[in-house]
Amino acid sequence: MSNTVKKAVRNPNAPAPIGPYSPAVQVGNQLFVSGHIPLDPTSGKLVTESIEKATEQVLTNISRLLDAAGFSLNEVVKCSIFLADFNDFQRMNAVYATFFEDTPPARETVQVSRLPMDAMIEISCIAVKS
C-alpha cells in the first residue's frame, strides 16, 4: 500500500467543475489538471466570441488553478489541447504561445467531434515542481 496522498485542488476564482471530477489533483510534486473549457468564472457562461478569447480564458483559468496549488505555468511539462475545429489551430497557437514563452511544455493538439457544452477548445495539463 502506497503512502502517496492524493489531494483535490479547487480555486474559488476559477469555474466550478461541470461534472463529478476535481479541477486538479496533486500527488506529491505533481499536479494533474483536468480538461478545462472556456468558462467565465464570474458569469459561468461559455466564452464563444472567438478561438483567441476562448483560448485566453482557458489558460487564464488554468493559471489561476495552478497558482491556487502553488504551481506556475513555468512548471507545466505537458498540455493536451482539444479543438472542435482544427482550422482554429493557428489562431489558438498564437494565443497559447503568449502563455508559454520560455521552454514551452510538450503537447499534442487534436480535433474532436464535440466538447462539453459545445466549447471550441479544451485544455488539460500536468505540472511538476522541481
**DSSP β-bridge partners for residue 27:** 6, 30
Share of the chain above pLDDT 90, in %: 84
pTM over 0.85: yes
Instruction: Give the total number of structural domains in the chain.
Output: 1
> Do residues 77 and 127 make contact, with C-beta atoms less than 8 angstroms apart?
yes
What is the predicted pLDDT for the residue at 6?
A: 93
- Rounded Cα distance between 98 and 9, Å, is 25
* The pLDDT of residue 2 is above 60: no
Residue 1 located in a structural domain: no
Residue 36 located in a structural domain: yes
Structural domain of residue 29, as residue ranges? 6-128
Max CA separation in the chain (angstroms) = 49
CATH number at residue 89: 3.30.1330.40
pLDDT digits (tens, 9 = 90+) for 84-126: 999 999 999 999 999 998 899 999 999 999 999 999 999 999 9
Q: Report the half-sphere exposure of 123 (CA within 13 A, side-chain side).
A: 26
